[in-house]
Amino acid sequence: MGLLLSLYFLFFFLSVSSGEISNFVGVNYGLLGNNLPSPKQSVKLVQSLGAKRVKIYDANPDILNAFKDTNIQVSVMVPNELIINISNSQKLADSWIESNVVPFYSKTKIRHLLVGNEVISSSPKEIWPRIVPAIRKIRSSLRTHNLNKIKVSTSMAMDMLESSFPPSNGTFRSDIADPIVKPLLQFLNRTKSFYFLDVYPYFPWVADPKSINLDYALFESRNITYTDPVSSLTYTNLFDQMVDSVVFAMKILGYPDVRIFIAETGWPNAGDIDQIGANIYNAATYNRNVVKKLTAKPAIGTPARPGWVVPSFIFALYNENQKPGPGTERHFGLLYPNGSYVYGIDLSGKAPASDFEPLPKPDNNEPYKGKIWCMAAGGANATALSSALSYACSQGNKTCDPIQPGKPCFKPDSLFWHASYAFSSYWSQFRKAGGSCYFNGLATQTAKDPSFGHCKFPSVTL
C-alpha cells in the first residue's frame, strides 16, 4: 500500500507539474480596434478557436469577468507606464494586485502576470532598470495574498539580442545583458517562471527574402536545412533558429535551463502594397504549422532543447484597425472584427488539414515593382483629415505648393483631394527618412494613378 501511495503521489505531482507547463496554444487578445466584439462574444470566439489560454495587454475587468468559470488560463499585464512607480513602492504594487487580480482570481484562471510588454523595445531607457525591481514587488504582493499559482515575468522581443546567427552565437546586447537580463533570468530561475519571448519569423524573412527561403520561414521546407557550425545542431525552420539563439544567449549568462514561453508569434494576413509575403495563404500556413509543432505529443521542443514543452500564444485574436504603423500591423488576426475566420484554424492542433477550405493563392510573395500613391481613406473624419493635411503641408520642401489657389492641383477644391495630394507628396519625399502612408489611419496606398489633367501626383517607385 505504501508503494502504491508513493506512486500515486508521484503521478499526481507530475500531472500538476505538466499542467503548469502544458503545450496548450493560446491567443493574444488585443483591443486596438473601434469595431471589435464585446468581451462576452470574444470568449465564445476564443473557445471556438480551440484556445486554452488568452493573454491580454492590461487587466481589463470586463474581460477578466467574461473569462470567469471558463477554465481558460489568462495572462494579464502591468502597463509599461506603471513600472517605475511600482518599482519604487511596495504599497503601489499591493494596491495594483488588490484592484486588478484579487477580485477576479477565485473565478478567473489567472496564471501569469507580465510586468510590461516589450519594455526595452518600446519604452524610454529610464524604465529599463526598473523592470526587475517592479517584478519582485509584484511577486511579493502576490505571495502576501497567497496567489502562489500566478507566475510573474515580462515579455521581450528578439531585439534583446546583439547576435542571433548562428544560433550558437546568440548573445544578449551588451548594454542590457548584465544590468537587466541577468537579474531577470536569476529571478525567473529562482521562481520557476518563464522567459516570455516574441518570435516572428516574418520579420527576418521580409528583411532578407533573397537569403532566407520562404518555405523555411513557414515550416514548409522539405529539403532545406541549416547546420550550426559550432553546435552541429541541424535546423529545419527559422522559428527554431530564433528560439535557440535566445537559449544560447541565456546559457552564456549562466542560466541554461530557464523555460521559454512564446508570448507572441504569427504572420500577417495582409499589408500595404510595398509589404511582401503578407497574405492569407502564408498566414494560415505559418500558424497552422506552428500550432502543429507546439501541440505535438510527445513534445518536439527545439534542436537545443529536444522534447521540451514550449507553451505559446498566437498573435492575434482580431485584425485591429487602430494599430499604428505599416498595414501588416492591422492584419495579424485569426478573426475579422465581425467574428468570422480569416482562414480556418484550430489552436488545439487536433483538426486535420482536410477540415479547412482551400486557401487563396498568394500574389505578393515577390517584391512589388511599380509606382504607389498615398491617398486619403474613404470615409475619413473631416476634422482629423484637416489636421493631417496641415501636418503634411507643414513639413516643408514645398510639399503642398500645387494645391494652393491658382495652382494645377487646387481644383477640385475638396478636403479629400487636397489631403490625398499632400499625403502622396509627403510620402514620396520622406519615405526614406521613415515617413509612412498612414496618418493615424486616414491614408491608404493605391497602385492606381490618381493624377488628372495638369495635376500630377507624386509617387513612390519600387
Active-site residue list: 118, 264
Report how far residue 426's alpha carbon sits from residue 401's, in angstroms, rounded to the nearest whole number. 12
What is the rounded distance in angstroms from the CA atom of residue 406 to the CA atom of residue 454?
A: 12
As a whole number of angstroms, the distance between CA 176 and CA 180 comes to 5
Residue 283 half-sphere exposure toward CB, CA atoms < 13 A: 27
Angle, alpha carbons 305-21-147 (nearest 5°): 140
* CA–CA distance, 133 with 174 (Å, rounded to integer): 20
What cell does 65 get?
469577468
Please give the full DSSP string across 194-206, using - where no structure is assigned: EEEEE--THHHHH
As a whole number of angstroms, the distance between CA 235 and CA 308 comes to 16
Dist CA 218 CA 54 (whole Å): 24
Distance CA 292, CA 349 (A): 5
**251 Cβ contact list (under 8 Å, min separation 6):** none
CB burial string 333-355: b at 16+ within 10 A, e below: bbbeeeeebbbebbbebeeeeee
Length of the chain: 462
Type and span of the H or E element at 143: helix 131-144
Q: Which three cell numbers stand for residue 371?
A: 509606382
- Distance (Å, rounded) from C-alpha 400 to C-alpha 392? 8
Residue 391 corresponds to which cell in the numbers above?
Answer: 501636418
